[in-house]
Amino acid sequence: MLPFLTRRLLQLIPTLFFVSVIIFSLQQLLPGDPALAMAGEERDPAVLAQIRKEYRLDRPVYVQYVYWVAGVLSGNLGESMRLKEPVLTLIAQKFPVTLQLALMAIVFSLTIGVSAGIISAVKKDTSIDYAVNMVALWGISTPNFWLGILLIFLFAVHLGWLPASGYVGPFEDFWLSIETTILPAFVLGNSFAAVLMRHTRSAMLQAMGSDYVRTARAKGLAERIVVLKHAMRNALTPVVTLGALEFGTLLSGAVLTEQVFSIPGFGKLIVDSVFNRDYQVVQGVTLITATTYILLNLLADIAYVLINPRLRG
């Protein structure tokens, strides 16, 4: 396990280095004078001079990069031009909101996606299988912001059961928090559930055709036990790993979902920052998202090795 961990951690270094280069390079895409673009509405020469000094815009690009990385490594992601607050503080404020949404979406998609995938595999080539596949195809092809708008119309405007937008934290009012997040979580988890369903189905079909399942059946075990205990346990390992890998997709989806439902999370922060030309925040959010994804990937790999004894070296 230790050699594997060391190798895997060493691999992270070049990946993180290139992530930082890509995100730093975004700044170079700004047309014209970057100080002017970064200042946004501000045209005060003193402010422009301060930006040039702070980001060392008068120095060569590689020097700017070194200073930027040094800042990032010491926890300084810059300051929001608009909100006059450190980017890291802003992210720390918004992240729990998106995390709640993402966790609810994961619970929803695991429940629906995995059970639908198992049923679909067990009932292969029946009308149930076709129906589940159709629903999965629908889930993958529906843009989540459109689904969000339609659900707001149905549940908020037409039926009046749920609020159309806004957010209440779970520690302020638990039930109101559920009310404000249940639709967005469903919307966010929808396509993820469809992806999970497809993967569970194929993993289950593979497991059901394997020798150990045939042996379990030959022993005279009940079909329910064969499916749930023997096939499912083995089929779910890659599916759970996939769950961690799809977290990035979930964060992408959160950008749109939070916009539709006016939820003040991570996604809304990046969109608001884009429109206010608050480039430091855009870079900071992108960097944190990528790092989170890379670390989740690492955890998924470790979990995979822990679950699968054959991979333990």
Partner 1 sequence: MAASEALVVELGEESPGARAWRRLLRRKSAVLGLVIIVVLVLVALLAPLIAPYDPAQQGWTAIRKPPSAQHWLGTDESGRDLLSRVIYGARASLLAGVVSISIALTFGVPVGLLAGYGGRWIDALIGRITDAMLAVPFLILAIALAAFLGPSLQNAMIAIGVTATPIFVRLTRGQVMAVKVEDYVEAARAVGNPPVRIALRHILPNILPALIVQATISIATAIIAEASLSFLGLGQQPPAPSWGSMLNTAQRFLTNAPWMAVWPGLAIFLAVLSFNILGDGLRDALDPKER
- List residues near partner 1 by CB under 8 A: 14-19, 21-23, 26-27, 29-31, 137-138, 140-143, 145-146, 149-150, 152-153, 157, 164, 248-249, 251-253, 255-256, 259-260, 270-271, 274-275, 279, 282-283, 285-286, 289-291, 293-294, 297
Which residue, 118, 116, 55, 125, is CA-closest to 283? 55
**Whole-number minimum distance, CB 141 to partner 1, in Å?**
4
> Can you read off the two tokens belonging to residue 124?
């292969």
Which residue, 109, 131, 106, 108, is CA-closest to 120? 131
139 or 230: CB nearest partner 1: 139
Distance CA 261, CA 233 (A): 37
66 or 156: CB nearest partner 1: 156
239 or 269: CB nearest partner 1: 269
**Whole-number minimum distance, CB 225 to partner 1, in Å?**
32
221 or 298: CB nearest partner 1: 298
For residue 57, give every residue at least 6 positions away whose Cβ sits within 8 Å of its Cβ, in sequence order, or none: 34, 35, 51, 64
**Whole-number minimum distance, CB 271 to partner 1, in Å?**
6
226 or 263: CB nearest partner 1: 263
**Whole-number minimum distance, CB 206 to partner 1, in Å?**
14
**Whole-number minimum distance, CB 105 to partner 1, in Å?**
14
- Give the type of residue at 133: N
Distance CA 286, CA 270 (A): 8
4 or 155: CB nearest partner 1: 155
> Can you read off the two tokens belonging to residue 147?
């689904």
Radius of gyration of the chain (CA): 24
**Whole-number minimum distance, CB 180 to partner 1, in Å?**
17
Do residues 266 and 250 lie in contact, with contact meaning Cβ atoms separated by under 8 Å? no
